[in-house]
């Protein structure tokens, strides 16, 4: 049976030809005058690379031209999206540099967001240089897959000072509002520096970040404010090694979120609450799960208040300072919510974690009851979370 010669892709053939030519023209024999091709090479118009760096640069330039030619040829032959030959080149996401000193592509974060194409479906990195960026940022639904990368939550911050009264509503007071899906933030802080509300004040809520998009992740980020710091509004979210600071309901909304090894720091003058979760139906999968981390600070706080009738919050393996009100949980002045809200603790530590005195409608979870809240499965994270 006749054997057929193996078929080579055209791009592979020209790669082999080019490298063969480089080896011939750059061989020691040519330099020392012993190559039989010497005369022909010198009489031609070919420029012989003098160094290894020139060889590498010329080769990369040539590869780029081959890729372009191949793509153009393929595109002209079919209506389907072109596919590049596998030359081992991995496309990197574009990076937009933000530097308020003028050494980047943009001076503000919002300018960089505006430059992301409408309908974007590929990862784009906005790299924010150190500094305090005093601006409001809005990332619309049409601009997905944005990564906001800082240099550390202590050195890179987006800061503004609206509150519910000045902005028109609590939601509209957000320093940064994210409506798009697949948003990622790393090593950056979000701050609302509006004054802390005095006791009994109204319309003083001031949001640092509002997240409404689905499949969002935050790594090493800071969220700083007082009342209503983090509006964990809706969607599935993952927070890891973050710091969240506030006084009253400072993590609120109806998202489905996992907080892993986060530091919750209370700055309440007297009384406050950590969460106000708004689950409104038993069929909804939403809720807040805090796994590991710590709860520290000043004042006296509830672990959660039942903003929604089916509010759901769980703390597991969390160290709690003695700032937790003994009852632990609050029914939002509606006794009916005691029958439907789901509040639980599992193997928490510290003087504030004692189960003695907790409201009778909260739960000290068993291993089986706690299991659904402890892993990425709670937010379907195995399908979309990528650890840094």
CATH value at residue 372:
2.160.20.10
Residue 320 covered by a domain: yes
Q: Does 187 lie in the same domain as 63?
A: no
Specify the higher pLDDT residue, 200 or 309: 309
Q: Does 325 lie in the same domain as 355?
A: yes
Q: How many domains, the chain?
A: 3
On the 0-12 / 13-18 / 19+ scale of CB atoms within 10 A, 34 is exposed
Average pLDDT over residues 366-387: 96
Q: What is the pTM of this model?
A: 0.78
Q: What is the CA radius of gyration of the chain?
A: 29
Residue 1 covered by a domain: no
Residue 226 covered by a domain: no
CB of 208 within 8 A of CB of 191? yes
Specify the higher pLDDT residue, 16 or 256: 256
Single residue among 31, 50, 77 that ends a domain in this structure:
77
Q: How many CB atoms lie within 10 A of CB 209?
A: 28
Single residue among 180, 214, 248 that ends a domain in this structure:
214
According to DSSP, residue 304 is labeled E
| pLDDT tier, 4 (very low <50, low <70, confident <90, very high otherwise) | very low
Domain carrying residue 193: 95-214
Q: Quote the pLDDT of residue 255.
A: 99
Q: Does 118 lie in the same domain as 64?
A: no
φ/ψ region of 357 (left if φ > 0, alpha if ψ in -120 to 50, else beta) reads left
Q: Does 190 lie in the same domain as 238?
A: no
Q: Does 349 lie in the same domain as 316?
A: yes
| pLDDT tier, 58 (very low <50, low <70, confident <90, very high otherwise) | low
Q: Give me the residues paired with residue 294 across strands.
A: 263, 319
Task: Name the catalytic one among 187, 228, 249, 254.
Answer: 249
State the Cα–Cα distance between residues 185 and 250, nearest whole angstrom. Answer: 19
Specify the higher pLDDT residue, 68 or 221: 221
Residue 222 covered by a domain: no
Question: How many residues are given for the chain?
Answer: 388
Q: Which residues have C-beta within 8 Å of that of residue 307, sequence separation ≥ 6?
A: 249, 252, 276, 277, 278, 332
Phi, psi of 81 (to 5 degrees): -55, 140
Single residue among 77, 103, 136 that ends a domain in this structure:
77
Q: Which two tokens stand for residue 157?
A: 């911050």
Q: Does 137 lie in the same domain as 49?
A: no
Specify the higher pLDDT residue, 202 or 245: 245
Q: Does 197 lie in the same domain as 64?
A: no
Q: Does 203 lie in the same domain as 130?
A: yes
**Side by side, which strands form the sheet with 95-98?**
95-98, 124-128, 146-149, 184-186, 216-219, 236-240, 256-260, 287-291, 312-316, 342-346, 363-364
Specify whether 53 is catalytic. Answer: no
Q: Quote the pLDDT of residue 17.
A: 45
State the Cα–Cα distance between residues 217 and 214, nearest whole angstrom. Answer: 9
Q: Does 37 lie in the same domain as 147?
A: no
Residue 147 covered by a domain: yes
């Amino acid at each position: 049976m006749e054997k057929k010669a193996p078929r080579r892709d055209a791009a592979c053939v020209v790669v082999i030809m080019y490298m063969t030519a480089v080896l011939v023209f750059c061989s020691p024999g040519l330099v020392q005058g012993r190559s039989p091709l010497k005369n022909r090479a010198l009489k031609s118009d070919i420029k012989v690379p003098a160094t290894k760096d020139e060889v590498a640069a010329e080769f990369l330039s040539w590869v780029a031209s081959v890729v372009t030619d191949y793509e153009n040829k393929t595109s002209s032959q079919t209506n389907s999206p072109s596919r590049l030959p596998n030359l081992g080149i991995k496309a990197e996401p574009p990076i937009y540099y933000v530097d308020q000193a003028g050494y980047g592509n943009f001076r503000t974060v919002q300018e960089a967001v505006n430059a992301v194409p409408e309908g974007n479906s590929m990862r784009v990195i906005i790299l924010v240089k150190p500094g305090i960026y005093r601006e409001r940022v809005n990332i619309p639904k049409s601009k997905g897959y944005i990564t906001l990368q800082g240099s550390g939550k202590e050195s890179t911050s987006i800061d503004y000072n609206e509150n519910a009264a000045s902005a028109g509503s609590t939601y509209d007071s957000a320093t940064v509002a994210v409506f798009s899906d697949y948003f990622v933030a790393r090593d950056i802080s979000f701050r609302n520096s509006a004054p802390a509300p005095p006791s009994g004040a109204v319309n003083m809520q001031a949001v640092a970040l509002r997240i409404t998009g689905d499949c969002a992740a935050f790594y090493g980020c800071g969220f700083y404010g007082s009342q209503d710091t983090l509006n964990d509004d809706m969607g599935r979210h993952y927070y890891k090694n973050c710091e969240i600071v506030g006084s009253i309901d400072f993590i609120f909304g109806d998202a489905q979120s996992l907080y892993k090894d986060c530091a919750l720091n209370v700055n309440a003058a007297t009384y406050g609450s950590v969460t106000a979760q708004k689950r409104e139906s038993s069929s909804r999968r939403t809720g807040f799960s805090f796994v590991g981390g710590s709860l520290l600070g000043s004042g006296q706080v509830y672990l959660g208040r039942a903003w929604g009738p089916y509010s759901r919050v769980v703390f597991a393996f969390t160290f709690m300072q003695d700032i937790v009100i003994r009852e632990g949980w609050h029914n939002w002045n509606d006794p009916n919510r005691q029958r439907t809200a789901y509040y639980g603790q599992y193997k928490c530590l510290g003087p504030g974690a004692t189960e003695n005195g907790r409201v009778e409608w909260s739960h000290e979870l068993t291993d089986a009851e706690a299991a659904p809240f402890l892993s990425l499965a709670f937010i379907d994270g195995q399908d979309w979370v990528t650890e840094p």
